[in-house]
Amino acid sequence: MLKKTLSAVALSVVAAAALAGPLDKTECIAPAKPGGGFDLTCKLVQSALMDGKYIADPMRITYMPGGIGAVAYNAIVAQRPGENNTIVAFSGGSLLNLAQGKFGRYSENDVRWLAAIGADYGAVIVADSSPFKTLADLVAAVKADATKVVFGAGGTVGSQDWMKAALTARAAGLDPKTMRFVAFEGGGEAITALQGGHVQVYAGDASEADQQIQAGAKIRVLAVMADKRLDGNLSKVATAKEQGLDIEWPIIRGYYVGPKVSDADYKVWADTFDKMMATPAFAKLRAERGLFPFAKTGADLDGYVKTRVGQYRKLAADFGLNVAK
């Protein structure tokens, strides 16, 4: 009798597992410690899915720091490739790291890119007291005497911030390898140094600059690295392209799933994101987290990611950085 009961229980567990869909007991992996961009990305979808009643139970957030995203990437590909209810947060920085081979033996082709839910954009930032009022002023100063223009960034050589500084310097006619550059632990330190006159230019993020300005920071945004002017408080800031420098730097935020997640489950997720991102409620949540509209899912995102990684790979090679084979 006991054996029959246990068998019945086992069968019911198997049946329940078989019926479990991708939106049941969901999990978002943030490839970093709590706080920061990956945490924000997971918490955004956690709130949006629950508030919109797309899921019955709150999404669990798991933190998996290490290797600037490499540990989580390797875990999903090698150990958890078929988990249909697990999504992993990524950013534009993740794509840059893939292009430079920082995720080990895996490439952009080893996961299924699911959804991009928003973006920030690079920005050229100076102190309020700076004599540079436009990008043209900055370019003229670099060409006159590059030793007097020090670029600051929240990251070391090869990082997103360094890339933005290098692109700005190159557009001004300066070899990025010769630019004066100071690396900081993060954007907060860089902005403090900017206000103190220790660096003359900071290649940061638009939303970060906006938040710092609202908090009283004495800084000014010379340009945003977007394809068009941004909404909100920075709507009057011209793009780099408008000012003659052909630079765009979108910092997308989104999610991928394991390589063995079925087409059917992948479609459920993509369709859910499409519905969710089309709502005013989601637009409000996205804006509250300092992100600008950028929505892609499924094949559209997959194509975008692979094109972008290819562009980053070429850019890294141009700048003499390590490139993934």
Query: What's the pLDDT band for 190 if we cut at 50, 70, 90?
Result: confident
Question: Is residue 3 pLDDT above 60, yes or no?
Answer: no
pLDDT at residue number 13:
39
Q: What is the pLDDT of residues 102-114, one digit of tens each?
A: 898 999 999 999 9
- Using the structure block, give the residue that is written with the tokens 């597992």: 17
Over residues 272-280, mean pLDDT: 97
211 with 172, same domain: the answer is yes
Query: What's the pLDDT band for 179 if we cut at 50, 70, 90?
Result: confident
List the structure tokens of 167: 């692109």
Query: What's the pLDDT band for 279 if we cut at 50, 70, 90?
Result: very high
Over residues 269-295, mean pLDDT: 95
103 with 88, same domain: the answer is yes
Q: What is the pLDDT of residues 289-314, one digit of tens each?
A: 889 999 999 999 999 999 999 999 99
Query: What's the pLDDT band for 183 if we cut at 50, 70, 90?
Result: confident
37 with 84, same domain: the answer is yes
113 with 258, same domain: the answer is yes
- Using the structure block, give the residue that is written with the tokens 């709502």: 279
Residue 68 DSSP label: G
At which of 204, 234, 264 does a domain end?
234
Q: DSSP for 217-267, please give it.
A: --EEEEEE-SSSPPSGGGTTSPBTTTTT-----EEEEEEEE-TTS-HHHHH
116 with 132, same domain: the answer is no
Q: DSSP for 273-303, please give it.
A: HHHHHTSHHHHHHHHHTT-B---EEHHHHHH
115 with 262, same domain: the answer is yes
64 with 128, same domain: the answer is no
200 domain residue, yes or no = yes
Q: Cβ contacts of residue 61 below 8 Å, gap of 6+?
A: 27, 28, 29, 30, 39, 42, 43, 46
Terminal C-alpha separation, the chain: 61
The mean-pLDDT minimum among 2-11, 82-91, 105-114 falls in 2-11
30 with 103, same domain: the answer is yes
Question: Is residue 9 pLDDT above 60, yes or no?
Answer: no
**CA-CA distance, 9 to 2, in Å (whole number)?**
11
Structural domain span for residue 206: 121-234
Question: Is residue 31 pLDDT above 90, yes or no?
Answer: yes
Taking all residues of the chain, what is their mean pLDDT, rounded to a whole number? 89
284 with 271, same domain: the answer is yes
Count the domains in the chain. 2
111 with 135, same domain: the answer is no
List the structure tokens of 291: 């992100």
267 domain residue, yes or no = yes
324 domain residue, yes or no = no
Over residues 44-49, mean pLDDT: 97
pLDDT at residue number 184:
81
Cα-Cα-Cα-Cα torsion 64, 68, 73, 76, nearest 10 degrees, comes to 0
Query: What's the pLDDT band for 18 if we cut at 50, 70, 90?
Result: very low
Q: Cβ contacts of residue 233 below 8 Å, gap of 6+?
A: 210, 213, 214
Over residues 56-69, mean pLDDT: 92
At which of 234, 269, 291 does a domain end?
234
Percent of the chain with pLDDT over 90: 67
**CATH code (residue 56):** 3.40.190.150
Task: State pTM to two decimals.
Answer: 0.84
pLDDT at residue number 16:
39
How far from 47 is each of 61, 85, 280, 284, 314, CA to CA, in Å? 11, 16, 14, 11, 37
17 domain residue, yes or no = no
Question: Is residue 77 pLDDT above 70, yes or no?
Answer: yes
